[in-house]
Structure formats: structure tokens, C-alpha cells
Amino acid sequence: MAWYLVPAGSKKNTEAARNRKNTLENKYFIAPLMTELEDEIQRILRFAEQDEYVYIWGAKTGPSNERTWSKLTQGDKVIFYAEESFAYLGVILATTRNREIAEKIWPSDTTNFEFIYFMTDVQRIDISAEAFNAEFGYPKGPQGFQPIALQRIEVVSNKFGSIEQSIEYMANKRLEISEINLITAKEEAGFQDEVDNHIINKVIEDNLPREIPPKTNTGNKNGQNKRDPERAKSAIILNDYKCEFNLEHVTFINRKGMPYMEAHHLVPMSAQKNYSYSLDVTVNIVSLCPNCHRAIHLGNSAVKERIIKEIFTKDRKRNLKKCGINTTIDELILKYT
Ligand SMILES: [Zn+2]
Ligand SMILES: [Zn+2]
């Protein structure tokens, strides 16, 4: 079994994005085209996907692509990458060279992807390009459609046990991390629980720069600056236990008899090293319903941007400045990507 890397188009390429959506993120209904395929391929596809929905991708015409594509064999694994992430992993079922079918599958594309391959078990892995390139030893990232060299596979297998395990490790590492990139999910859940159950002495409303608090020893080795539950709770109270993205969002009643809300640091705590004053001030803490809180961390870039733009009002920008935190909307959005 061999491993291949496939470029799956940049973010800006809307054509590639549509193709990804139609035949990689979702399965394509191949039944109407079935009779145009070789008998052997029909048999393989029907056997693997009884409903005749299948994942498909294609390589552009060209000698290098043709050479790589011609080696693809059933059971080989392909990893799809874009500029910033290695997004999907699929398993090859069969290949066919067929210009007419390619034009039917990706009709609006001006490029011809006649070196077609059918896949099964396509899954999202979303590994950052930085992490993948470092483990697999591509200083500048891979270029084009290519096999992963055996030496690279050996290095990664020696470290992780297998390529599959390295992928699982890199994908999970990403999932475990919250508060953009520093706090583990466990630590984050503990903090929200503490804030929710916290009985406040006095509502704090910061309007002056505050000294940077010390680092906690928990979390990862980079250390996380301490977050004050009193301030987080204050931010929620100041916002009247409402979701700042949409005041209408309804949650549930918590153990203290109030609507449950979560505290989110708009300029992420992980960016503390870039600021001279504490990011743990009430004006930087946003009260969000759990759904919006998940969305601002785990949504796609459009979702995140929509929430950030709603929260980062002129007032907030001014009040952050009073606390020594200068930022712009573009800078902020960049921190969430
Ligand atoms: Zn958060
Ligand atoms: Zn909400």
C-alpha cells in the first residue's frame, strides 16, 4: 500500500471549493454514469458502495500527473492538502481515464480532470500544514500530486508506529486544543464550570490597563496565563446573562437559577505574549451561549468572522484601548484562523 499527496485547491479558488464539496466532502451519485465505466470498475464500485454514491477526484492532464495517477492501486491512501491544512484522507477503490465522464462530473470547470480516481472512506482530518510538514519533513510543503517517499514514511512510522497513528495523533492534538490554541478542552470545561458556579463578591468592570497575571502550571508546557473567574463572571453579569452575538439566544437555567452562559476571551489568552497588559479584563471577556462559544472556536472561517464582527463593536474597541489592548478587526480575525 502506498501513500499519495493531492493538492485540493486554494481557498480563493471557488471552482476547486465547489468540486471539493460535490465529490470529496460529499459522495457523488455515480449510477447515471455507471454504464459508461468499464465492467471491472462497475463491479468494484457496486461492491464497495451499494447505494452507488462514491467519492471521486481527478488529476489534470500532464505527464507528471499521469505517471503518479497510473500507479494508484486499490487500497492506496491519498491525503488532500490545501495551503493551510491537510484536510481529507481517502482510500482508493479504482481509477479510470475518461474525459467525457470528467466533464459530466465537474461540468463548470474549465480544467479537465480526466485522470479519475474513485475512493471510499473519505474522512476529514484537518491537520495544520505546519504540523504535517514538520513531521513528514517538507520544509516548504509538498508540491503537486505525488507519492510520499518511503524514507519519509519510515521516519514517521518509527516515531508514531504507523502513518495512520501519526495522522490520528496530529488530528486529535488539534481537537484537544481550545481557546484558539493553548488551553486543553479539559481545562476549558473546568474553567467554564467554575465561572458558572462562582458566587461573586463584587462585579468588576475594568477600565484601566492591568498587570499580566502569572502563568498556571497546568495545561501544556507553554503555560497559560491565569484567568480570573471573578472577572469572567462579571462579564456575564454585565451582559445580563445574554449571548453577545445574539441577545435572543436561549440556553438553560444553571445550578444558581440563572441562564447558563460561557466566558470567552475575544483577544485570545494565547496572544498574551504580544501584549504589555493583561488580556484578562472584563472588556475582553465576551458572554456567549454555549453554541456560539463552540462556533467561535470550531466554526469555519466565515462563521468565526461573522461572530467576531458582531462582538467587536466600536465601543468594545475603545474600551479595550483603555485597558492597554490595541487591536483591529483584521488583526483579530487573523488570530482565529
Ligand atoms: Zn473561548
Ligand atoms: Zn449565542
Q: Could you write out the DSSP letters of every residue in 250-310? A: ---B-TTSSB--EEEESS-GGGGGG-SS-S-SGGGEEEE-HHHHHHHHHS-HHHHHHHHHH
Strand partners, 79: 5, 89
Q: Of the candidates 177, 172, 168, 8, which has an alpha carbon nearest to the alpha carbon of residue 78? A: 8
Q: Which CATH number fits domain 3-126: 3.40.1800, 3.10.400, 3.30.1340, 3.30.70?
A: 3.10.400
For the chain, domain boundaries: 3-126, 183-335
Query: What are the pLDDT digits (tens) for 19-62?
Result: 988 999 999 999 999 999 999 999 999 999 999 999 999 999 99
- Contact predicate 241/258, CB 8 Å: yes
Strand partners, 85: 128
How far apart are alpha carbons 136 and 139 in whole angstroms? 9
Inform me whether the pLDDT recorded for 179 exceeds 90: no
245 Cα to the center of ligand 2, angstroms: 5
pLDDT interval class at 221 (50, 70, 90): very low
104 Cα to the center of ligand 2, angstroms: 42
Inform me whether the pLDDT recorded for 112 exceeds 90: no
Residue with cell 465522464: 101
140 Cα to the center of ligand 1, angstroms: 32
Three-state secondary-structure class, residue 125: strand
- Contact predicate 116/96, CB 8 Å: yes
How far apart are alpha carbons 76 and 95 in whole angstroms? 11
Which ligand minimizes its atom distance to the CA of 188? 1
Written as nine digits, the cell of 72 is 494508484
203 Cα to the center of ligand 2, angstroms: 22
Which ligand minimizes its atom distance to the CA of 262? 1
Three-state secondary-structure class, residue 247: coil
Three-state secondary-structure class, residue 322: helix
Inform me whether the pLDDT recorded for 316 exceeds 80: yes
Percent of the chain with pLDDT over 90: 69
- Contact predicate 3/153, CB 8 Å: yes
* Mean predicted lDDT score pLDDT of the chain: 90
Which ligand minimizes its atom distance to the CA of 310? 2
Query: What are the pLDDT digits (tens) for 223-275?
Result: 677 889 999 999 999 999 999 999 999 999 999 999 999 999 999 988 888 89
269 Cα to the center of ligand 1, angstroms: 9
Percent of the chain with pLDDT over 70: 94
How far apart are alpha carbons 191 and 199 in whole angstroms? 14
The pLDDT value given to residue 176: 47
pLDDT interval class at 170 (50, 70, 90): confident
Inform me whether the pLDDT recorded for 133 exceeds 80: yes
Which ligand minimizes its atom distance to the CA of 288? 2
